[in-house]
Structures are given as C-alpha cells and as structure tokens.
Structure 1
Amino acid sequence: MGLSLNLNEAVQICIFDLRRGQHEGQELDKILFFFPMEFPFSAQLSVIGLCEGIITFTRIFSPDAACEVIEAERHSYVFYEAEADIWMVLIMEKSKDNESDWRFDALRGILKEVHYLFMMFHGSLRALLEKQPSGELARSRLYPFVIDYLTDFYVGKKLQLPSFRDSLRERGTVQMLSVSREVAIEVQSLVTVLGSLCVGNTTCKSVILFHDLLVSTTLSPEDTTNIYTYAVLRLIPHALSSGTNTWSYLLKGTSATSAAAGFTATTGSVSDGSQQSSSDASSAGQDQRNSVPRPLQREKWFKGKDGFLTTDIWGAEVGSLVSVLPTVWLRETEENMNLCIYQHKNLTIVILIPACSLINEQGLSLAKQQLVENAYHKIINVEEKLSRGWGGENAYHVSGYRYLIVDGDRHISRASPPGKVTTLAKDSLLTLNRVREEIDFEKMRAQRTNPEHEKDFEVCIRAKNNAWVISKVTRGKELHMVLEKANETLLYATETVEKFSNRYCEGAFSSN
C-alpha cells in the first residue's frame, strides 16, 4: 500500500470516538487520547483522519468484522475497537532491520490490556462521555492512565513494544503455580476464611499470588486476569521494590518515569485545546485532573508494619487525612469492590470487599482485624509450604525445550522462563513469530466462518538455522515450541513434542 505519514516518532497511539467531531470546526472533539502528547493538533487530526478513513473504507467490504491491521509502506497500523465506535490505534514505524518484526495480535493485546485495566479502575469510556459530553472527564482519566502504563515499556528513553523476541509470551493470561494436594487443601481453607471476612450478608472475593504466580482465585477468568495483571505490575514484592526488575513476563525492562512526569504540563493543553467549552468547564476540568487517581503510577504502594499495603493514589477523604479506599470494578458481576491487600513475605493476598459493605475507614479496620485474628496462622502456614517447594524462576523449565502453553478458555498460560528464551537464536524466534502470526490469522478466519466450531491447526517448520518450530492448536489450547537441538528429521521432532505433551500437558497435543 502507498499509505504513509511524515511522522518523526516511531510509535503513535490514538484513541478517538467516531460519534464525535463530525461537524466542521468540531473535529478536535473526537480525540480522546494521543501519544506522543507534544504532537500538534494538525498532526493528530491527520493521523486520526487517516485511521477513520481506513475504518470507513474497510467496513464497505466487511461490515460485520472490524478492521484489525493495515500494512503500509513505512508504518503498521493495529486497530482495536475497544467499545462501540471508540477506537484505539497503535501505529508502529518500520525499520530496515527485522527488529520491527511484530506479531500484530500481541500488539493488539497491549491495547486490550490497557483498556481492560482502565475499565477496572474508571469504568467504560462511553459512560464517562455520557456523564460529561464535553469529553473532559474521559480525557482527564485517559491521559495519565495510558502514559503511566507506557512507562513499563521504556528501556532508557526508548519505548520498546513487544517484538518477535516475545513470541513465547502471551499477554492477557495468568501463570499458575502448581501445588500438591496437601497444599491445595491448605489454600482452600485460607480462601474459605477470606470469603467470610465481610460484615452482613456480603461475601469477599480473593486472589492469592506467590511471587508472580497465581495460587488461587474466586473471580471469573477475565476479572482474575485484570487483578493478576495489576498485582504483578504494582503489588507483588518485586513491584514494590524501587527500581527492581523481575523475571515476570508482564514487566518490560527499566521504566522511564520521565514520560509520566511530563503529563501534568502537557495534558492540560491537549485536553483544553480539544474543547470548545466555557471557562467554567475548563476550570472544572482542571479540578478533575488534579484529583484523578493514577493507579498505575510506580512506587505508590507501600507495605506497612502490619503487613497491609497502603496507598494515597485515590486521595484522602474530605476534611480527613485518611486515604480513600482503592476501588475496582468487576466486569463479570458489575460490582464495585474495595481493595485490601495483605502481604507475608512472597505471598500476596488481594481481598476484594464489596464497596457497599464498607461505609468508612472503620469498616476496613474491622475487616483487617478479622483477617489477622482468623487467617494469620493459615497465611503463615501456606507461605511456608509454598516456599519449601519453590524451585525459583526455573521451577517449570523443562530441560531441552523452549515452549508456551496457552489455555484460552481459562486465560492461563505457562512458558519457559525469559532467561531460557534468550538462549534461542534470532532466526528461531523470527520463524516462531511468523508461524504464530499465521496461526492468529487462521484462528481469526475460523472464528468468522463458524464461531461455534473450534478448528484444529498444526504447523511444523524448519528454520534457516535448522531449528524446528512447531505450533499446535486444539480444543481451545495452544502449544508453541522451538527445538534447536532436534536437528535430525521431522519424525524426531514430532516424537519429541509427543513426549512433551504426554508428560507435561496430559496428552492434550498428542496425535492419539
């Protein structure tokens, strides 16, 4: 295609509403977010105008399937319709080397993740736009949230989004910790106690993590993924430590806080400039920006002497120094829940208390007291048993294999540790990335043809460096594997995968 834009930044991200700004002189109203923020409005409108044209044009030929990817000469465009007529677009500049080989479904996963997290803390964008039609409320929440999210992708001063080197990772899933039957009984006993903490007829929900692996959850898979993602990003001991990197697949290098630091000075002009509102509305918008909670800011959660994590992200109650209780919204039950987080060594317990049962800080204090009285010894017991059987970051490494297993129905994945993946040759990762891209396309096409039927796929390719790259999809599960030492025959590679499937996947990917 001949599409190209004269842009100096390697990455642009825009969020816009097709229902807004349709009249002359009001075009800026459709812009809800744009990165980089220092782009002039004329450039922002050019980018969004091109994206809107692509969406409109592709709908002529495919009215029921939204546009997802457009490959231009100099840029790749990844589209995601987050809500009805509210689009998120990620634009990546191509480079001459193959470091710009991306898997577009992985890039779209970034857009999905930031939207899901945003909804968990702020609700839907459409609801915010309906609450304040000027759009200032939505913008005042979007700008700091997305900018804070992007800081995790900075390495130095450079924004690095997932490339072919991340082919053995799957965003939007959780990684489970396997436990013995004895430990599982202890964990279930603890979960039962946690569920009985609330006063009255309400019931608490919980998510338990050990290091950055999920131990237990009482939430739906989708809500579990969101809470788990946030916990790994900001709540587990590694995330609480200043400037410490973790081996978690969710964290990306050293974050650059400079991008978020420029938000206060920049977003005012962006938001105010995109409005044709009165001075009163502008003043109200400024007040909103000053009081907007920023749950993705780094180093804003602290562990107290009592083991509970505290934060002032949500501000303080009027006329009081007491912090406002952190609140999240669950998609499955459409409930507002208060977060109460307890940490003992490497065990992190996220307790979600129905907001209706906590009228004030006294209610939270009562719940904390109940936790200490009823669950403290169980927490110590579970942490000790998990630590005794903990094998470190290579606990699930299978010697000789580099792999990724995904259970899409349950939002669960298991993969080789990143440290082991880095031992793979560049050609191996490039080949795997391209194979996964083809698998993504086939799954998408099968879903459109017959959404109720799950189609099985199997691909086995010999890479340039003689490594075998194998991908299998069956009954909602996926296996992606690289065998660099199986440089003999296809039969040898196939038998090696069969052994892995029978031993570690309960035969889910075996031919028999």
Structure 2
Amino acid sequence: MGVSSMAAASDGMQLQLCVFDLRRGQQEGQELDKILFFYPTDCPFLTQLSLVGLCEGIITFTRIFSPEAACEVIEAEKHSHVFYEAEPDIWMILVVEKSKDDGQVWRCEALRGVLKEVHSLFKMFHMSIHALLDKKPSGELARSHLHSFITDYLSDFQLGKRMQMPSFRDSLKERGTVQMLTVSREVALEVQSLITSISSCCNGCDSLILFQDLLVSTTLPPDDTANLFSYCTLRLTPHALSSSTSSWSYLRKGHSTPNLSNLTTLDEHQSRSRDTSQGQNSQISSIPRFLQRDKWSKGKDGFLVPNFPSGEVGSFVLSTPVVWNQQNDNCKYLCVYQHKGITVVMLVSATSLANGEQGLVQVKNQFLENVAQRVTAVEQKLSRGWGGENAYHVSGYRYLLIDRDRSVSRATPAGKVTTLKKESLVYLNKLREEVDIEKGRWHRDNPHQEKELEVSIRAENNAWVIAKVIRGKELYMVLEKANETLLYATDAVEKFSNRYCEGAFSMEY
C-alpha cells in the first residue's frame, strides 16, 4: 500500500502512530505542517509524508461514498492501518506491523480503542487539539504537548525495542470502560453518606471513590468517569503507586521509557537555518508530564502530592494538576486522598475558590477534619467484604460483560483467562471482530435503532465461543471442556444471565 519501507525506518520498530490536521499544509512545500505528531520520532520525513499522503487520499476518496463515516481500516499484506477521526479533520492513524512468528493477532476495534483512549486522556488534561491550535496557530504548542503526552502513553506498551499492542489474548477485556465494585446495601449507604460529606466540605465538588482498582462510586457522567478511572488505575491507585506494573495495562511487561532527548517538533526541522533546539527543549521540559511514572507520591496527610512543572490556565500559573470536563469544558483541580486500599478523587471547580489555588489548602484541611474518619470507616468495611483479585470469577465460565450505555464492564480475572487455550481466544477475537463489523453496519444504517445479535460457535478445539448483543449490553463467553450440543451452550448462557446479569440475556427477557 505504498508504505513497505516502514519496517526499515527503525530497527525493531513495530508500529507507527501519526496525528495530522487535514486543514493545514494545503500549499505546495508546506505539507509537513499537517503533521502534529509522529512516532517513531526519528522516522524520515519522506516516510511520514508518504503515510500522511496515502491516508489523506483514502479519507478523501471514502468520504465521497460515506460522508458521515470515512475509512476505518486498511488491511495490507504486512500492515494494518487503523483510522480514527479524533476531532473534526484531526486524524489519528495507527500502522501496526503484522507478524506470523509471535502469534500477535489483533482486533482493529481494539487498536482503535488505543487511539480513542490516548485522545480522551489528552483532552482531559490539555483540552482539545483544536483549542491548542487556536491558541497558537503555528502548531508549536499542540505539537509539544502531543509529543510529550503520547510518547509517555506509548511507553506502557514498549517491550525492549518493540511495541506490543492489544492482541487476541486480550479478547476478554475492553478499553474505555469502568470496572465497578459490587457492595452491600449497608456499605452503599455508608458510601453515599461519604459522598455527601465530601461535597459539603469541598464546595460541591465532583468525586470518584475507588477501592483497589475498582470503582465504588462517581458523581461524574460516564465519559468523564471512564477517563478519570483510566488515569487513576494507571497512575494513582495503591497498585499503581507501589508497583511498576499496573493492572490498567493489558500487556505491560517492561517499563523502559523512550529517550526524551530525541523529542523534537517538526517546527525545528522546518527551521534548520536557525538554532531553535535550546528553546524547544526548554518548552518540552516545562510541559507537565501527567503520564510519566513516579510523578505522584503520598504525603503524610494522606493526600497525593504531584511532581509536575507548573501549568497555565488562562493567565494563572498552577502547580496543582487541573482536568477538563468533556461535556462543558469546565476546569477543575485534581485532588487525591488515599487511605490504604481506598482512593478518593475530588474535582474542585476552579471558579468556586475565591483565592484560586491557595483555596485548596483550606479545602484539604476541611476534608481532614470532617471527612477523613468516614473514609477510614468505609475502607474497613470494603476490606472486610473484598474477595480479592478473583472476586468476580465464575467457575466454568470465561466471560466479558459490557454495558455500553454506562461505559461499564466486568470480566473474568486475568489470571483465570490465561487458563484458556490459544485457539479459544483466537476464535473469540475473530467473533468479536465480526460483531464489530455488524455493529458498524447498524450504526451507519440507523444509529438510533437498537438491534440484537446472538452467535454461538463450536470451535475446532471443542470449545463454545459465544457472543450476545441486546439493548446496549454485550456478553462474550468461552466455554471449554463443555458438552458438544448447542442446547448446553444456550442453557449455560441462560444460567449466567439469570444469576449475574439480572436476566438481561435470557430468552424470555
């Protein structure tokens, strides 16, 4: 497809990730101005332009036939090209090298989930790419922020010189969703009382409460909850703070970080006649690196302490991280309190504090005086009822349950998934890809009409691989060492649905 030279661009390189703006670089000789980010950073310009030109041509061509949904994926002999329009005319392209040796079979929608996730997290901390381009039309600001943020994000997938993306082994996981902790009615009432106390002492702030790597409660809408939950389990929970391997990452086996001295922007290369490297490096070093490891530590008072360069919001210089709501672009301070296994995340509106960031000291003092003891009590009750990492294992089942409307999922624990045979996971991966394609057709035909789908496959290794989609909910299941009759598989799904899904996937629902 015109990018066969990709593999030679960098020894051991497994993927390319590009962010470009279709509106920019329309005049001859200014084509590089389109590119806002490119990984690997040392990829030759001709290769970058070749990829962007190819993708731009395909996007333009496919829009003729499908104006509302341009190209989503190109499958070439040696590479998969995954497209995602993150913002109007802002495209993210992921090119993944196919390999027959290591058995890395992926699902394109899972790869697109990587692009969606990094863009959502980027917007949460830096606002939209369009906003950065409007602030500095040269693109220098957007490029600097994208370079630091996406490079730190990709470091979680780096294994030596290679980048390891989600593969068929992750078919029972779903990005962009929240994993909830189920609590008793008694504990739920305690949690609700805690939420009320937090709101009363923190100027009506929004909050998230997590126990271990599971969400207990949230006052945010689903999209904001999913973004903040992803960040918490990546960098803020006790597991993330105490271990170099976080449960958030699918495949993290190493944690080498790319050489940051190689980070440059295209503006530098386009201005070779003048020495701008010193100023550029200074700008990059001053950007808060929210996704770098070891940037949060726990203080003696229980609040997590950030170690970032000062950021700016409007005309104010801030040392406390701020996040932006997806729906209304409200700016909020990120305050995190932790006691043993519980993490309380508070989003305090910047406009609610008369003294700006200094008002956070008073908010934290009020929290310690009026709320901290309640947090301790809730943590004790959650600990007593916690069943450990295998709390949501169901004997005989390997499953993934997704509620798209609430962006919530629940799945078989990772340790139990590893007991499945490779063939079972490969079949499930293929089945999920077919379901993705079918759901795409539904959305293009009638985005407001919900349809139902049920597929049961008897795999060659005598396992049942099952998918069921109904009313915004999805269930994926693998049954190994199971009876060969379809009736057995149907009954198994029925029993699971009645007991664990409130009958959502039952035939008589």
- Bin of the TM-score, shorter chain as denominator length: over 0.9
Q: Classify 1:441/1:275 alpha carbon distance in 2 versus 1 (closer, same or farther; 3 Å).
A: farther
AA matched with 2:400: L
Which residue pairs with 1:307 in the alignment?
Answer: 302
Pairing partner for 1:367 from 335, 355, 363: 363
Q: Counterparts of 1:111 and 1:316 in 2: how far apart (Å)?
A: 25
**In structure 2, C-alpha distance between the alignment counterparts of 1:373 and 1:65, rounded to whole Å:** 53
| CA displacement, residues 275-308 of structure 1 (integer Å, 9 cap, x when unaligned) | 699878x876554323111100001100011111
Moved over 6 A (4+): 276-280
1:159 to 2:163 alignment: yes
Structure 1 residues 249 and 432: alpha-carbon distance in aligned structure 2, compared to 1, 3 A threshold: farther
Return the match for 2:143 from 136, 139, 143.
139
Q: Deviations over 1:378-413 (max 9, x none)?
A: 101100000001110000100110000000000000
Is 2:474 aligned against 1:478? yes
- 1:504 corresponds to which of 490, 500, 507: 500
Match of 2:283 in 1: 288
Mapped contact 1:171–1:250 kept (Cα < 8 A): no
How far did 1:155 drift?
2.9
In 1: Cα distance, 2:3 partner to 2:275 partner:
38
* Aligned twin of 1:13: 17
Q: Deviations over 1:239-280 (max 9, x none)?
A: 11142x34x254532343331xx12x2222544114699878
Partner SS, residue 313 of structure 1: coil
2:120 equivalent in structure 1: 116
**Which of residues 183, 188, 203 in structure 1 aligns to 2:192?**
188
Residues of 2 paired with 1:158 and 1:69: CA distance? 22
Contact 1:16 1:30 in 2 (8 A): yes
Shift of 1:152: 1.1
Quote how far apart the aligned CAs of 1:347 are: 0.1
Q: Which amino acid aligns with 2:406?
A: R
- Provide the C-alpha distance between the structure 2 equivalents of 1:290 and 1:159, rounded to a whole number of angstroms: 24
- Residue 254 of structure 1 is matched in structure 2 by 253
The answer on whether the counterparts of 2:160 and 2:256 sit within 8 Å (CA) in structure 1 is no
Superposed, which structure 2 residues align to 1:337-376 within 5 Å? Answer: 337-358=332-353, 359-376=355-372
CA contact (8 A) 1:169 1:249 kept: no
What's the RMSD between the two structures over aligned residues?
Answer: 1.9
Q: CA deviation at 1:100?
A: 3.1
SS of 2:297's partner is strand
Measured in 2, the distance between the counterparts of 1:286 and 1:439 equals: 46
> CA-to-partner distance for each residue in 1:159-191, whole Å, 9 max, x for gaps?
111001100000000000000000000000000
The structural deviation recorded for 1:476 is 0.1
Match of 1:150 in 2: 154
Instruction: State the partner residue of 1:461.
Output: 457
Equivalent residue number for residue 214 of structure 1 = 215
1:150 maps to amino acid = L
Question: Which of 421, 424, 433 is residue 428 of structure 1 equivalent to?
Answer: 424
Cα contact 2:207–2:218 (8 A) shared by 1: yes
CA drift of 1:49 comes to 1.2
Identify if the C-alpha distance between structure 1 residues 323 and 132 changes in structure 2 by more than 3 Å, giving closer, same or farther: closer
Q: Which residue of 2 aligns with 1:42?
A: 46
Partner of 2:400: 404
Q: C-alpha separation between the residues in 1 aligned to 2:433 and 2:192? A: 39
Q: C-alpha separation between the residues in 1 aligned to 2:301 and 2:402?
A: 38
> Greater shift after overlay, 145-154 or 177-186?
145-154
Flag the 1:154–1:285 CA change in 2: closer, same or farther, 3 A: closer
Question: How far 1:360 sits from its partner (Å)?
Answer: 4.3
The answer on whether the counterparts of 1:339 and 1:350 sit within 8 Å (CA) in structure 2 is: yes
Q: Is the 8 A contact 1:156 1:254 kept in 2?
A: no
1:6 partner amino acid = S
Q: Secondary structure at the match of 1:49?
A: helix
1:413 to 396, 409, 413: 409
Within 5 A, what are the aligned runs for 1:81-100? 81-97=85-101, 99-100=103-104
- How many pairs align? 498
Question: Structure 1 CA distance, aligned partners of 2:455 and 2:237?
Answer: 37
Deviations 1:183-232 (A, max 9, x none): 0000000000111123xxx4211000000000000000000001100000
1:27-38 paired onto structure 2 within 5 Å: 27-38=31-42
**Aligned residue in 1 for 2:224:** 223
SS of the equivalent of 1:423 reads coil
Specify whether residues 361 and 451 from structure 1 end up closer, same or farther in structure 2 by C-alpha distance, changes over 3 A only: closer
What is the CA-CA distance between 1:361 and the residue it aligns to? 4.7
Which secondary structure state, in structure 2, belongs to the residue aligned with residue 76 of structure 1?
strand
Partner of 2:10: none
Amino acid at match of 1:227: L
Q: Distance in 1 between matches of 2:368 and 2:359?
A: 14
Relative to structure 1, is the Cα distance of residues 150 and 357 closer, same or farther in structure 2, using a 3 angstrom cutoff?
Answer: same
Q: Is the 8 A contact 2:233 2:248 kept in 1?
A: no
Q: Which deviates further from its counterpart, 185-194 or 6-15?
A: 6-15
**8 Å contact 2:3–2:51 — kept in the other structure?**
no
Distance 1:53 1:100 in 2: 29
**Cα shift at 1:98:** 7.2
Could you state the TM-score of these two structures normalised by the residue count of structure 1?
Answer: 0.94
